[in-house]
Structure 1
Amino acid sequence: SIQNVLVAAYTIFLHRLTGAGDLIFGIPVSDRPEGFDDVAGYFLNTLPLRVKIAGGETGEMLLQQIRDTMAELLSHADQPLARIVEATNPERFEGRTPLLQTVLDWREGNPQLDDLVADEQPQPEAYPLDVATAPFDLALSLSGQEDGTITGGFIFDYASLDSETVAAWTRSFVMILEGLVQQSDCPIRRLPTVAAQDLDRASLAGPKVDAPPELSLLLLRALAEYDSLPAVESGDVTLTYGDLRARAQDIIPGPGKVSIIDTDDPVERVVQALAAILGQKVLALFDPALPQARRDKMRSTLLAIETEGIDGTVASYVQFTSGTTGEPKAALLSRVGLANLIRTLGNDLSIKPGSRVLQLAAPAFDAWVWEVFITLGAGGTLVLADRSALHAGEPLAVCLRERAVSHVTITPSALAALGQVDLPELTTIVAAGEPLSADLMETWAPGRRMFNAYGPCEATVCASHGVCAAGSDTPDIGTPIVGMTAMVMDRYAMPAIPGAVGELWVGGIGVGLGYVGAPAITAERFIADPGADDGRRLYCTGDMARIRTNVRIQFIGRDDRQVKVRGVRMELDEIEAALQAVAGVRQAAAKTVPDATGRPALAAWVTGPAHDEAASIREALAIHLPETMLPAFLTVLDHMPVTATGKIDRLALSDPRKAAAHPDQAIAAGEPSAGAEPCSELEAVILDVFADILALPARPGRDQNFFVLGGHSLLVVRLAAALSGKLDRKVPLPAVFANPTAAGLAGLFTSGETQNACVIRTLRHGTGPAAFLFHAVDGSGHCYDQLAGNWHGDRHINVVEQGQGFDSLETLAEGYAQAIDTAAGDGDTVLLGGWSLGATIAAAVAEQLRRQGRDVRVVLIDAARPVPHENEHSADETEIAAAAKAAGADGATVDRVRENIRIAANHSFGRIPGPAAVIRASDTPREGAAPDLGWAGVFDSTAVKTMPGSHHTILRSGDLPALSRQIERLWDEQEA
């Protein structure tokens, strides 16, 4: 019948529009109940028609299904819709009708099947209906006319749809109807659905220009043009473009196709990266803080470049990203793509001489490539800062203000953490890495240029961007940049119906070369571009998007197992594979849940271990995964919920935010006293703030860890600010990181240690006697992060960081010794170590603890015994301040550096009973220095070992596991 053909066409339309394979829509039927024959009026009932469609069926097969289903449906025409809704009890949503959101209303006339093929494409017109509201989200009403034609159209609500989109849907429905009649043997998935005039709503192209200059030539021109201008600024140290060119050309790498950059010196990292590009090497950025196991996997992956015929004349850099197999993937990007990015974005963002661009991205992210090379290609100044100055919240706000930054690329999470701050010099903001909210746009767009940028790392950082204006609609990701294309495709790789959500494919000059050593995944994600005549490919992003009526792209989210958390893209399969590799774990599941700010947080569930082992599981993960990929919530279950087919039912997994506040359920908190009631009013206040910040349904226990409950670094900023306001005292971030429980924070506050003592922070969980490593001259212990991440064995590593200043090294050592004595526990051996000033502190603390009868073992790393001089310091204070500022330090840190140098230089060591060990850096120049660097005159005996490296590289590069093994041996040799 005509009705069955129309129903089949509408089924295909809804299937291709939504991607759903199980559809329910309404069919109005005329049904006069028995006994109402003499009653005037039109008796109408709407019945729900359920159709399952897979896409592989032909039109003829679907028509047969519709015929049978409609016959069954009409046999129940006397059942009121209200009774069906009551019996099925479907999930209800505010503002929507239950069970049915769309209907197809057909009224018979005289048309025949041949009349369903139009002589020409109809031109729909919009006109208002004399009704208060549309009865359904969408309704298609069609009537057969006496002359054999069919008239009608869509009824819709202007609040949720626009007339241009619905007009395009009308044309799509007619195309589907014609295809169904004319090609009934064609698979449904191959039927065209987009009219020629609507193709611009499925495919967009950026401006077309000539190909950019060769990458090296482009950069060399900029280096020459801006020769005397500042290129890189780090504290008081500035490199001009000429300086940068000279330093880079001096160290252009030799043989080999790949140049791995893993230094944590920010200036040297820029120099080495530029040298690699100029030397036509494939640049590989490594984060020094990554676990050694992950870096080993990355190095192994890069070996394929040497054998696959890839070289730096084609490829520019490798970007590692999370992989579905549990191994990191290496996306390979082209030189022409990077050259296009430099030329295009420098112009779009108005970067020019005088612009000050903050290098904010972490060392191994492709945003680092964006920040560095776009700035250098446009004559701007790249502003480098110490990582501690870039922490979200107040530290970053201070950095932006004090360094007079004009341009910053930032994740919306970090932007939100800035709060309400006045940054008059900040003229350009690029939000990237996460969806941008309308609230953030309204806050930050006025008075400056604000962009919302999008790009998978497989497409050279940026594929599209758009300017955000206050008062505009929900932020979109704009249009493709110069040389790039974007299209929205449905599940069958056909252009999506206008306004429909589909997968975003990007093409053009910036699309990468594939994945290193992974031809199968490359073939799956990189496909031939039929619109390109130069062999270029399209990248299937896996991101879901739609093209709006204004021909701009709206980002929707992911439709697979890949997620973004705090701007970091990761595969949930990799998280689950890492969890299942932990001893004792039988099953694992991972997904994202909203954190207290409404942003996605990573959650994981496991079966197998005891409920109190969740914390140790997370520690085991930290050996293989970077901190950004560790679950914020980790829940141990007795068994996984499963679907009827036996698969893990991820929708039925327990809410980890609720479980975190109830220790009698399967929770992540591994502390034995988790769930205990507060012991004081102060603890109760802290716990209430915990619950508020983390959006917990109940107050957690006094010993439950803020981070295990779902906290992360951005929420710590809010926690510290909230506690400062509640308690009317300054709560420093390091204090929260080091004491992430209410009991710990309350103890810290009541003892006053936040003001005048050290902060002991765990770098690595392990067994046996704990090691305590002392901070460097700036009071921070971050110099040990890389060493701890690569430690050989299962040692528990703590770092001792400075609280407030001390008048002398002796009083500092007394305070530190008291804190360590408490933290170490009764009778345990205490292992001490330190580098540079930290070594001097370690010796002074060892003296205090040995006086108390402690078994203390100490290793001093590349530090000479200080020799006091009357009325003078060991270095000029101006030089000290300059050195600290060169490292990106703020004014307070410079003062601390100066004071620490003073108290160390003025300290006179007496005789310290017991042994010590000294590790010398082989490349540190020390003319005339004794092999033991002067410590033999302090300790009873001094063992001396030499390790490769200089004073500044011994903890940051080279064989760090070997260094840790040497430290362990030297501790063992001091056994009493």
Structure 2
Amino acid sequence: AYAHQDLPFEQLVHALQPSRSMARHPLFQVMIVLQNNAVASLDLPGLVARPLDGETGAAKFDLGFNFVERTDLDGAPAGIDVTVEYSADLFDEDTVTDLGKRLVRMLTLGAADPAMPISQFDLLASHEWRQLLNGWNATARELEPGAEAQTIPALFAAQAARTPDALALVAEDDRLTYAELDTRSAHLAALLTDRGVRPGDVVAVAVPRSTALTVALLAVLRAGAVCLPVDPDHPAARHRALLADAAPAVVLTAPDGPAALRDTGAPVLVLDASGAPGAGEEPVTRPGALPGPLPDSPAYLVHTADPEGVPRGVLVPHRGLVNRLLWMRDVLALGPEDRVLHKAPADLDASVREVLAPLVTGAAQVTVPPGGGRDMVALARQIRRDAVTTVHFAPSVLEAFLAEPETAGCTGLRRVLVDGEPFPPGLAARFRAHLPEARLHVLHGPAEASFDTLAWSADGGTEGAYAPAGRPVPNTRALVLDAHLTPLPPGSPGELYVGGVQLAHGYRGRAALTAEHFVADPYGPPGSRLHRTGDLARVTRDGTIELLGRVDDRLALDGRRVEPGEVERVLTAHPAVAAAAVTTRSGPTGGPALVAYVVPADPAAPVDTSALLAHAAAELPHHTVPALCVSVDTLAYTADGRIDRAALPDPQLGTARAPRNDVERTLCDLFTELLGVESVSIDDSFFDLGGHSLLATRLVSRVRSLFGIELPFRDIFDAQTVV
């Protein structure tokens, strides 16, 4: 800096040509100035002069540190004065004061021991340590006497004994009381035991949302087994991978269940619509005592995305789920007067609480028919018809739900739970405008910690600049740490670690991966662990944790994890593709859309994107299949050899064949409006142009308002084009 201090600043800016913005300085935002020259004196006969600090009322930079060396009367060093100038639009006085204190603390430690690595500097005062570790993380709470010794079957049995005649399940025309659900699940659990299922065995459940699914999930838990939920709509390759990893003792499926489930070698038990064994099976008429699980026994095996494409099976124990569900009962006041909508796919985290939360709190579960979870009009109508009080959404799905005019009639909703994606700014205000009587709860947490460890109430919380995740729920911990597992002060970004009673056992059969992501808790009791979430986060001054992004490449899309590496591995396995990169781009509704960028193996032969996406659909779950595929000549890489996803170009869409009549012209206009493209031909696929199920719901709504017809939601997927 000193060697080049004579370079005119304007010349530097001209040479670099940085992007310009009225919001910030073009080259840097923090200025450090060292004034180590002798202070000029003004000697005027008959006058005593002293310097005055000038105040301009405006900050030139976001932060400015001005260091001035002082000397005594003899010219000896007498210390350094530091003045901090800051932009009041970005910082408040308390934050800047804290920055100054930590700067002084860092300099003091460095001067006392110059050989100490900076990573070992303790910049937190004692009261800050107490606040981070024991203040905001003082979450110990007895949700119920003896809760630590409870299991899901025990909670359900107690509820069924209290309210045997209360409604437990609504699934289209089927209605079950707690006593009836208790009987059906007990019979199936006894049959599983007779089939040789023992506590700790894995039982795969591949049944669409229905009475049979709820009966099957509850029966597996009552038999003491580990439930592996499987989405029947996933491709055969995915089914084979899941079952190869889990090695289930039995597979429960529907009469029309996926064929791949029958080729695993495991016994298959077919269930009818009621959850009873199908034809040819001998039901157990008088089930005896069931073995049941222990509190530390695994209850669920939930698979999450992995960059290498190998499913990560997370073993979630009863103890963690019990804490999660009792918290929902007590803190969110879920009770017998409530009806909880079950609309999530069976293998999704949200499905666990949608199925189990009502059954251990005395509420009723209302099941959305298969395929109905994406039709916002049908969803709003079912919420009204079945008097639903509680529903869960991913933020992007909530946006689509609020955009549907029929949402205004859902006045019976009392609480809406939102998680799976970062909560966008402004959504809370839009929610309050549409559903003023309902309460909005933002949740955050990984499957590795029983799905939700942080909660933020939109009623009492203040939205900041970043997505709120909230504070730890009862009996959990959440810390923002640096690479050396040192707590970071409020405002400083680091990785989010979570711990406490809800922590999972780890990844089934993958000890090395478990050791990498579940680490010893240096601040907890002996034997306690923390899970590295991969979330980049910070703690605010009031203890709220905000999400800033990811420390890895993982994406959150439609409430699910997406590992770009897994999708890229499948794409590059196609012979026409030399390299691939997957990322998200903001879609027409503001939500993310998955986009694949591919480099052709033969530069002279363009990639057939339709064939490539069909290849991906045969290997990947539907939510990880890219909505768009863009050919590029090459991929850009960062200095450390990673794909530079930020440098990938925005996709250019649209083709040429024009509409032939007013109806086609109106439909093409709807496509361009919803998809944000310049032009659409009558042969363009709605989904190839970037459409997805959320936009399809808006298309159905716009067709209804313009043409006065009720277009079935599934027709969008069957037809896809204007003609």
Q: Is this a same-fold pair by TM over 0.5?
A: yes
Q: Match for 2:90: what amino acid?
A: S
Tell me how far apart the structure 2 counterparts of residues 343 and 330 of structure 1 sit (CA, whole Å). Answer: 25
Q: Does 1:424 align with 2:411?
A: yes
% same residue:
29
Tell me how far apart the structure 2 counterparts of residues 200 and 94 of structure 1 sit (CA, whole Å). Answer: 41
Tell me how far apart the structure 2 counterparts of residues 314 and 129 of structure 1 sit (CA, whole Å). Answer: 69
The residue that corresponds to 1:544 in the other structure is 536
The residue that corresponds to 1:227 in the other structure is 164
Q: CA deviation at 1:739?
A: 2.3
1:724, 1:731 within 8 Å by CA — same for their partners in 2?
yes
Tell me how far apart the structure 1 counterparts of residues 338 and 110 of structure 2 sit (CA, whole Å). Answer: 59
Q: Does 1:272 align with 2:216?
A: yes
Q: CA deviation at 1:553?
A: 1.2
1:201, 1:547 within 8 Å by CA — same for their partners in 2?
no
Tell me how far apart the structure 2 counterparts of residues 355 and 647 of structure 1 sit (CA, whole Å). Answer: 49
Q: CA deviation at 1:182?
A: 2.5
Match of 2:701 among 711, 717, 721: 721
Unaligned runs of 5+ in 1: 1-72, 111-127, 662-673, 745-976
Tell me how far apart the structure 2 counterparts of residues 285 and 550 of structure 1 sit (CA, whole Å). Answer: 39
Q: CA deviation at 1:507?
A: 0.8
Aligned-partner SS, 2:371: helix
The residue that corresponds to 1:450 in the other structure is 440
The residue that corresponds to 1:365 in the other structure is 348
Q: Match for 1:237: what amino acid?
A: D
Q: CA deviation at 1:612?
A: 5.5
Instruction: Quickly say closer, same or farther: Cα 1:732–1:631, change in 2 above 3 A.
Output: same
Q: Match for 1:158: what amino acid?
A: A
The residue that corresponds to 1:240 in the other structure is 177
Q: Does 1:209 align with 2:141?
A: yes
Match of 2:495 among 500, 503, 508: 503
Q: Output the TM-score relative to the length of structure 1.
A: 0.62
Q: Which has the higher helix share?
A: 1
Tell me how far apart the structure 1 counterparts of residues 656 and 141 of structure 2 sit (CA, whole Å). Answer: 63
Q: Does 1:198 align with 2:128?
A: yes
Q: Does 1:218 align with 2:205?
A: no
Q: CA deviation at 1:601?
A: 1.2
Q: CA deviation at 1:623?
A: 1.2
Q: CA deviation at 1:513?
A: 1.0
Tell me how far apart the structure 2 counterparts of residues 129 and 488 of structure 1 sit (CA, whole Å). Answer: 40
Q: CA deviation at 1:86?
A: 1.7
Aligned-partner SS, 1:205: coil
Q: CA deviation at 1:711?
A: 0.4
Tell me how far apart the structure 1 counterparts of residues 332 and 13 of structure 2 sit (CA, whole Å). Answer: 55
Aligned-partner SS, 1:390: coil
Q: Match for 2:60: what amino acid?
A: P
Aligned-partner SS, 2:701: helix
Q: CA deviation at 1:730?
A: 4.7
Match of 2:318 among 332, 335, 345: 335
Q: CA deviation at 1:483?
A: 0.5
Q: Output the TM-score relative to the length of structure 2.
A: 0.83
Instruction: Quickly say closer, same or farther: Cα 1:567–1:451, change in 2 above 3 A.
Output: same
Tell me how far apart the structure 1 counterparts of residues 641 and 559 of structure 2 sit (CA, whole Å). Answer: 33
Q: CA deviation at 1:485?
A: 0.7
Q: CA deviation at 1:77?
A: 2.6
The residue that corresponds to 2:586 in the other structure is 594
Q: Match for 2:80: what amino acid?
A: I
The residue that corresponds to 2:421 in the other structure is 434
In our comparison, the structure showing a higher alpha carbon Rg is 1
Written as runs of structure 1 = structure 2, the 5 A alignment for 1:400-799 is: 400-418=383-401, 419=403, 420=405, 421-445=408-432, 446-469=436-459, 472-474=462-464, 476-608=468-600, 610-611=605-606, 613-642=608-637, 648-656=643-651, 658=652, 660-661=653-654, 674-696=655-677, 698-727=678-707, 729-742=709-722, 744=723
Instruction: Quickly say closer, same or farther: Cα 1:644–1:423, change in 2 above 3 A.
Output: closer
Tell me how far apart the structure 1 counterparts of residues 347 and 641 of structure 2 sit (CA, whole Å). Answer: 39
The residue that corresponds to 2:46 in the other structure is none
1:389, 1:399 within 8 Å by CA — same for their partners in 2?
no
Instruction: Quickly say closer, same or farther: Cα 1:645–1:270, change in 2 above 3 A.
Output: closer
The residue that corresponds to 1:145 in the other structure is 70
2:305, 2:561 within 8 Å by CA — same for their partners in 1?
yes
Q: Match for 2:23: what amino acid?
A: G
Unaligned runs of 5+ in 2: 39-52, 73-77, 251-292
The residue that corresponds to 1:95 in the other structure is 23
Q: CA deviation at 1:90?
A: 1.9
Q: CA deviation at 1:243?
A: 1.7
Q: Does 1:173 align with 2:103?
A: yes
Larger mean Cα displacement after TM superposition, 244-253 or 193-202: 193-202
1:805-846 Cα offsets, whole Å, 9 max, x none, are: xxxxxxxxxxxxxxxxxxxxxxxxxxxxxxxxxxxxxxxxxx
Q: Does 1:157 align with 2:138?
A: no
Tell me how far apart the structure 1 counterparts of residues 81 and 224 of structure 2 sit (CA, whole Å). Answer: 65
Q: Match for 2:457: what amino acid?
A: V
1:675, 1:703 within 8 Å by CA — same for their partners in 2?
no
The residue that corresponds to 1:81 in the other structure is 9
Tell me how far apart the structure 1 counterparts of residues 399 and 107 of structure 2 sit (CA, whole Å). Answer: 49
2:209, 2:346 within 8 Å by CA — same for their partners in 1?
no
Tell me how far apart the structure 2 counterparts of residues 235 and 462 of structure 1 sit (CA, whole Å). Answer: 29
1:589, 1:606 within 8 Å by CA — same for their partners in 2?
yes
1:364-391 Cα offsets, whole Å, 9 max, x none, are: 1121111222211111111112123332
1:281, 1:316 within 8 Å by CA — same for their partners in 2?
yes
Q: CA deviation at 1:325?
A: 0.9
2:172, 2:369 within 8 Å by CA — same for their partners in 1?
no
Aligned-partner SS, 1:684: helix
2:507, 2:513 within 8 Å by CA — same for their partners in 1?
yes
Larger mean Cα displacement after TM superposition, 675-684 or 351-360: 675-684
Tell me how far apart the structure 2 counterparts of residues 626 and 83 of structure 1 sit (CA, whole Å). Answer: 53
Across the two proteins, how many residue pairs are aligned to each other?
Answer: 636
Larger mean Cα displacement after TM superposition, 398-407 or 193-202: 193-202
Instruction: Quickly say closer, same or farther: Cα 1:83–1:730, change in 2 above 3 A.
Output: same
Written as runs of structure 1 = structure 2, the 5 A alignment for 1:16-95 is: 73-95=1-23
1:153, 1:170 within 8 Å by CA — same for their partners in 2?
no
Instruction: Quickly say closer, same or farther: Cα 1:607–1:141, change in 2 above 3 A.
Output: same
Q: Match for 1:464: what amino acid?
A: L
1:675, 1:704 within 8 Å by CA — same for their partners in 2?
no
2:342, 2:355 within 8 Å by CA — same for their partners in 1?
yes
Q: CA deviation at 1:505?
A: 0.7
Q: CA deviation at 1:585?
A: 2.1
